[in-house]
Amino acid sequence: MVRQESLAPRYQESQEFVTHNMEKIITMVYPTNIENVWKQSLPLLIPAINLHNTHSAEDVYKACMCGNAQLWIQWTDKVEAAVITEFVSYPKSLWFRLWLAGALKGSEILWDKFWETLSEFAKKNNCKGIEDCGREGWIHYAPKNTKTFSMRRVVI
């Protein structure tokens, strides 16, 4: 068995990155708690994992468990949306990449709150900006105003 070591920079962990909106909570799930929500999160992420075809579901799980990627969820009494992020280190700057995302059909997803929470987390971790990679259809969920923080989009 190959042990996957974390190559990611150690990020700032804080309860500051929990957003409450009435009964909906948007939060990063720390590795110690991922197992508790993974069975609900994975079906939401499978279409994106299959689209990218660069990683298996097990690869994504291991990356989250060792800190190379982060799992974010919107939670009520169940997982309504799941987002996988990662830090990307370039020679001149550190960026925060929104890598995979998915949502439960019929749920009201607070994408603006997701972006606000992810942006604050990225700023706190000294990132230059956020990279959003995915299908063209997901672009309309991205914030319209990014004047205060850099944003790059990679369309697949």
Residue 21 pLDDT class (50, 70, 90 cuts): low
Q: Give residue for tokens 């997982």.
A: 79
The whole-number pLDDT of residue 143 equals 59
Strands 19-21 and 24-29: antiparallel
Residue 6 pLDDT class (50, 70, 90 cuts): very low
**Domains identified in the chain and CATH numbers:** 19-155 (3.40.630.30)
Do residues 142 and 153 lie in contact, with contact meaning Cβ atoms separated by under 8 Å? yes
What pLDDT digit, counting tens, does each position of 70-84 carry? 999 999 999 999 999
CA angle, corner 31, sides to 48 and 38, nearest 5? 45
Cα–Cα nearest to 150, from 72, 96, 111: 96
